[in-house]
Amino acid sequence: MPPENPDRPHGETPAADQRTRLRVPAMDCPVEEKAIRERLLGLPGVRGLEFDLVGRTLALSHAADALGTAREALKAAGFETEVLALPVAGEGPQENTVVPPATWWRIGVAGTAALGSEVAQWMNGGNTWLVVVLAAAAIVLGGFETFKKGWAALTRGNLNINALMSVAVTGAVALGEFPEAAMVMVLFVVAELIEALSYERARNAIRGLMEMAPETALVRADDGSWTERPSAQVAVGATVRVRPGGRVPLDGIVTAGRSAVNQAPITGESLPVDKAPGDQVFAGTINESAEIEFRVTAVAGETTLARIIRAVEMAQQGRAPTQRFVDAFARVYTPIVFAVAVLVAVVPPLFFGADVVPWIYKALVLLVIACPCALVISTPVTVVSGLAAAARRGILVKGGVYLELARKIKVLALDKTGTLTRGRPSVTDVTATSAMPQDQSLAVAASLAARSDHPVSAAIVSWHRARREAAPLAGAERFEALAGRGVRAAIGGTIYSLGNHRFAHDLGVCNSTVEAVLERYEAQGRTTVVLASEREVLAVFAVADTLRETSRDAMRDLHALGVRTALLSGDNPKTARAIANEVGIDDARGDLLPEDKVRAIEELAVAHGTIGMVGDGINDAPALAKADLGIAMGAAGSDTAIETADVALMDDDLRKVPELIRLSKRTAAILMQNITLALGIKGVFLVLALAGTATMWMAVFADMGASLIVVANGLRLIRS
């Protein structure tokens, strides 16, 4: 469930909400975001706002009749808006930022005029009517929109980049610096266009995920013929054919054919996975070797790929800690620099008898570098790039806060079944400890296990099916599942219990003979299951689950990163310790009920600091929720894991956890580089401006150049 929208006014009910997505071209800084929030949240019918500064879009939750009022309010505040189609994950790419050719022609003419003004002034040794006319043409052609947005911003007390540039250019004109004013305006507009195209690269990282699923599918009609139809129109239950080399258009279950499928777009797996009838396939994956047919299990907007895209898009709306800090800093930075500029223009002439023009010029240079756009945009672009890079590796991170948190993990707790092991255990041994025949005890155990969905129960049922001499299953009544212990039911009037070693102790039916059998199996690293009546233990089952090949490598990588590991298992302590020793885990704790795992998480957090927990996303939900970072394994195809986990590993490869930590460290390093770079460049030009060696066009180059540099630096996360 998505988090509650913090911009939803109290007392409003979302029952009749509509959702509209608006492009707001003038919104590129927290200053504009704050102004829009203040303007809209007081309006009747406006119930929620979701901002995307990178995309310059606003998702508006509103009553049916409130959209027009909201757009009019934004227009009055100087924010033109354009209604966009709501993105439907799985239906292909959304709109691109395309600069019309007419705009480039207009900017080209403006640039030529500005350059002509510079040349005319140099040839004539000063300003002439030609210099003024050419400069004015350049300013009007290049800066009309900037002045329009700047005036609207100034009227509402908003010191955004358009307002600052408008004041600076107007001041330069007032000082008679016509060519420089023209060149500054043209350079600013060109830099803005290039910057917008650079931001598009970050958005393309998410858009590239959408393009993985083909827009059409080859569907079998009622008469048996095959027709090509839009993927969005294919219903659940339809049969779809995918030829070799084609992409799977929708999620489904294979019904005919065998092939190797490249699942890297979804799970990040490096090798193709063999698919046969009964196996699941995912939209966006690539059929490599042979033709297959599958039955559709999810419509286009609800495929695993669609849910991944939706989760990444939602993740962009949150603010990572670094981003929140930068936004807060930016809100005070601009007014402070603006105030410094005013003091620079006023104090030296008034109190020290200095010449007015040079100090006003210095103040204008300060205005140009006062906008914190490079600083502000450095964080969301980097975080979005990191989220997209993780998604491409089969790691679904639900927000920038979790991406930043991963690098701080000091200890990682892990579940055993389905996490360290394959989750498909099998029975290896059975020891009868009573007079009940073994085939009868197996039938009773399988009758109880058939009512449970635990992997160990499934192993007992499978073993019963494989033995021809086993008695048939019996009807179980008054079935009861006891979390972390086992199950209990009545068969033929007798109460039977099937559970772990701890459960046998709770029932009070253990004796020295049973304990000896249990200790022998547990010393071998086997999971033990006890079948008992109300008076005695009837049989002991030994179950073994094979380790994943990647578990040892993952633990080795985690230790190399300085992360301590702990195994939290419901198995007996001896089995847990044996598994931990085999894999290379530091700490092992067994006989843990769900509430015991929560307490273990708390203890580990107190002892070591930030803690992560890896589990299957359902059985270990309390521990996953208690940990600082909950990581769900094998989330592909699991609605619950994708919707609830902080991080979801789309396949069952534990090596993705250290990969996530390394990506988190790299993201944090790039964030720090960008912040240092943006502040450093502004600091240098602040000194140069006060020293009188910086010009306005140099300041424009510095400001927009810094923006382009931090965007390009952030995009390195996607390319790496």
CA dihedral (435, 439, 444, 446) positive or negative: positive
Three-class secondary structure of residue 455 per DSSP: helix
In the beta sheet, which residues pair with residue 226?
A: 220
Angle between helices 696-719 and 178-210 (to 10 degrees): 10
Neighbours of 601 (CB within 10 A): 24
DSSP state, 421? B
- The alpha carbon of 376 is separated from its chain's Cα centroid by a whole number of angstroms, namely 19
Phi, psi of 471 (to 5 degrees): -70, 155
Three-class secondary structure of residue 476 per DSSP: coil
Tokens standing for 369?
Answer: 């570098």
Catalytic residue among 28, 52, 251, 415: 415
Assign residue 155 a region: left if phi > 0, alpha if psi is -120 to 50, beta otherwise? alpha
Q: What residues contact residue 359 under an 8 Å CB cut-off, 6+ apart?
A: 344, 345, 348, 349
E strand residue ranges, 250-377: 252-256, 259-262, 273-275, 280-281, 286-287, 292-296
How many residues belong to the chain? 720
| Strand ranges across the sheet with 647-649 | 395-397, 647-649, 629-632, 611-615, 411-414, 564-568, 587-589
Three-class secondary structure of residue 533 per DSSP: coil
Contact 290, 277 (CB under 8 A): no
Nearest to 449 by CA among 507, 489, 416, 501: 489
CA dihedral (589, 569, 653, 210) positive or negative: negative
DSSP state, 229? E
d(CA 672, CA 100): 35
Nearest to 178 by CA among 219, 135, 218: 135
In the beta sheet, which residues pair with residue 442?
A: none
Nearest to 1 by CA among 643, 545, 485: 643
Alpha helices in 228-302 (DSSP H): 264-267
3-state helix/strand/coil string of 119-170:
HHHHHHCCCCHHHHHHHHHHHHHHHHHHHHHHHHHHHCCCCCHHHHHHHHHH
Tokens standing for 334?
Answer: 């601009």
Contact 484, 592 (CB under 8 A): yes
Angle between helices 30-40 and 321-352 (to 10 degrees): 100
- Confirm whether 65 is a catalytic residue: no
| Strand ranges across the sheet with 292-296 | 226-230, 216-220, 239-242, 292-296, 252-256, 280-281
- Amino acid making up residue 673: Q
Provide long-range contacts, Cβ within 8 A and 24+ apart, for 318-323: 318/3, 318/399, 318/400, 318/401, 319/400, 319/401, 320/379, 320/383, 320/399, 320/400, 320/401, 320/403, 320/404, 321/401, 321/404, 322/379, 322/404, 322/668, 322/671, 322/675, 323/379, 323/380, 323/383, 323/400
Contact 349, 355 (CB under 8 A): yes
Give catalytic residue positions.
415
